[in-house]
Structure 1
Amino acid sequence: MKINSKSSEETYEFGFALGQKLPPGSIVCIEGEMGAGKTALSQGIIRGLGVEDKYITSPTYTLVNEYHLDDCFVYHFDIYRVSDYDELSAMGFEEYIRDDSVIIIEWADIIAHELPQKKIWITLNKAEDFNKRSLLLKGLEYYDIHL
């Protein structure tokens, strides 16, 4: 599935719509160059999941931000500064992947070969117009999501 976005607000809104449909146990992998909209998309997904009372930032330096909902945990990873999967594994990454959590991973392409097959993969690409993006989605069928 391909989505075109004309602004960071539209990217956020798409993320919000996706977040509203994600069941616990979901893994969302996001890739794209610097400035492609990964964080705007992640923020939308997290808000769509129901996180209301927190300021949502990208965990560039902390690696993961955690949000707790009544029936689900949300873990937002930014692994831009991770050199390989072994480094992420050493911090206990596998323990975050559970049936009662939603995992969102920015820069997922760094560890793509180590991730479970059942995941949503979103590739963001910048267009010539500075504000426009295209989002290519794969794996929605794993969670029976229809947008």
Structure 2
Amino acid sequence: MTAPRQHGLIIDLDDEAATAALATRVGALLRPGDMVALRGDLGAGKTAFARALIQSHGDPDDEVPSPTFTLVQTYETPKGAIWHFDLYRLSGPDEVIELGWDDVRADGIALVEWPDRLGSLLPTDRLDIAISFGPTPESRRAALTGHGGWAARLAPLENPPK
């Protein structure tokens, strides 16, 4: 049995603008059926990344609140529906299914904060983005790991735009 393909990148982000620029670049690669798993400590920037990605598909001034209390927010975009999940308060996969998980997996794009709550629902074909604190208060480091088909799709992110 062969191991699933993986490819990873480490990208240092000087500030929130750099995080937003990376989110826009990742957003350009998304297509229906994709899942982005956002990992990191509280306050690391998962929601800021998701907000910038969602805004890159519509009006940059659109309000994109954190789904911490609503658990999921849905946004209609030219690429299709983007579902932004925050699973921090959930205890397991059964609760995720009640939020419409099957619908998003059929033809939506899923951005999932705290993806460990998915358990066996975590797809093998996904993009993992782990955001950690950098050396300064405003800097971050993003570790991107493409699983399955995402391994080859990360190539455009290897060289930052000039």
Report the TM-score, using the length of structure 1 for normalisation. 0.88
1:55 aligns to 2:63 (yes or no): yes
CA RMSD of aligned residues (A): 1.8
Distance in 2 between residues matched to 1:71 and 1:125, nearest whole Å:
28
Q: Which of 123, 131, 146 is equivalent to 1:139?
A: 146
Give the one of 19, 35, 38 matched to 1:11: 19
How far does residue 127 in structure 1 lie from its aligned partner after superposition?
Answer: 2.4
The answer for the alignment partner of 1:44 in structure 2 is 52
For the 8 Å contact 2:92–2:119, the answer to whether it is kept is: no
CA contact (8 A) 1:15 1:42 kept: yes
Q: Does 1:20 align with 2:28?
A: yes
1:58-137 matched pairs, under 5 angstroms = 58-98=66-106, 100-137=107-144
SS in 2 for 1:62: coil
Shift of 1:113: 4.1
Question: For structure 2, which runs of at least 5 residues remain unmatched after alignment?
Answer: 1-8, 158-162
Provide the aligned length of Structure 1 versus Structure 2.
145
Identity across aligned pairs (percent)?
Answer: 30
Residues 86 and 97 of structure 1: is their aligned pair in 2 closer, same or farther, counting only changes over 3 Å?
same
Amino acid at match of 1:59: P
Moved more, 51-60 or 7-16: 51-60
| Aligned AA (1:72) | G
Q: Distance in 2 between matches of 1:97 and 1:88?
A: 12
- Counterpart CA distance in 1 for 2:148 and 2:111 is 17
